[in-house]
Homo-oligomer: A and B are copies of this chain.
Amino acid sequence: MASPRSDSGSDVRARILKAAHDLFTKQGFQSTTTKEISARARVAEPTVFRHFGSKVELFEAAILEPFNRVVDEWTRSWSEMSTEITLEQLAENLVDSLYSVIWEDRKVFRELLAARSDPNSALYPSAVAISAQFREGLSAVLDVGIDIARTRELVYVDPPATIGAVASMIIGSVLLGDWAYPANRRTPGRTRMVREMARLIVDGIAHRHP
C-alpha cells in the first residue's frame, strides 16, 4: 500500500471524493461521517477538511462530480466529433450516461428531491446547490443542442422546452419508478429504457417542419 504522503494533492482529492461517493451512496448523508470517509480514503481526517471545508461541501462535490463529468464528456464529444457522430449515437450517449449517474445515486437523489421542497430539512441547502448545478449542466447541453440543430438543419422550435422534457424523462424514469410504470407488467430495466428514450428523442426531434 502506498504511503499517503507520497500522493499528489489531486490523487488525494480524487480518493476522498471516491470514498465519499461510495459511502454517501450506500448509507445516505446523515449516517455517513467524515471519520469513515477519511478511513476509507486512507487519509487523516483534517486532510478531508483541508480539501473540502465541511461534510456538506464534500457531499455536494461527491454527488455532482459524476454528473458534471457526463455533461463535460457529452458536450466535448459533440464538438470534437461533430461530423462523424450520428444523432442516434449522441442521443444514446446522453441518455445512457445521465440515466446511469442518476441510477447509481438514486437513494441520494431521492433524499435530495424530498429535501428540495422542504426548507426545514438539513439537506435543503445542498439540494438547492445541487439542483442549481444540474440546471447549469442542462444549460450547457442546451447550447450544444442548438449548435447541433443548426448544423443538421433540424427545426428546433423551443429548445428550453425540449431540454426540460428530455431531462424530466430521463431523471423521472429512474426516480419516479414507483409512479410512472404500468402495473401488472415487469418494469423495464436500463437497457430497454435507454433504447426507448433515445428513440423517442431522436424521432421526436428529427421530424419537425418549419
Contact = CB atoms under 8 A, between A and B. Distances in A.
B160 A168 contact: no
B208 A135 contact: no
What is the interface residue range for chain A against chain B? 35 or more
Contact of A203 (B165, B180, B197, B208): B208
Contact of A168 (B173, B192, B206): B173
A117 B114 contact: yes
Contacts of A172: 168-169, 171-172, 175-176, 180
A176 B102 CA distance: 13
A192 B201 CA distance: 17
Copies of this chain held together in the complex: 2
A64 interface: no
Interface in A167-190: 167-169, 171-173, 175-176, 178-188
A200 B204 contact: yes
23 contacts: A110-B117, A116-B178, A135-B182, A138-B180, A138-B181, A139-B184, A141-B182, A157-B196, A158-B196, A160-B181, A160-B185, A161-B192, A161-B193, A163-B181, A165-B173, A169-B172, A171-B179, A171-B180, A172-B172, A172-B175, A172-B176, A200-B205, A203-B205
Interface of A: 110-111, 113-114, 116-118, 131-132, 134-136, 138-139, 141-142, 157-158, 160-169, 171-173, 175-176, 178-188, 192-193, 195-197, 199-201, 203-208
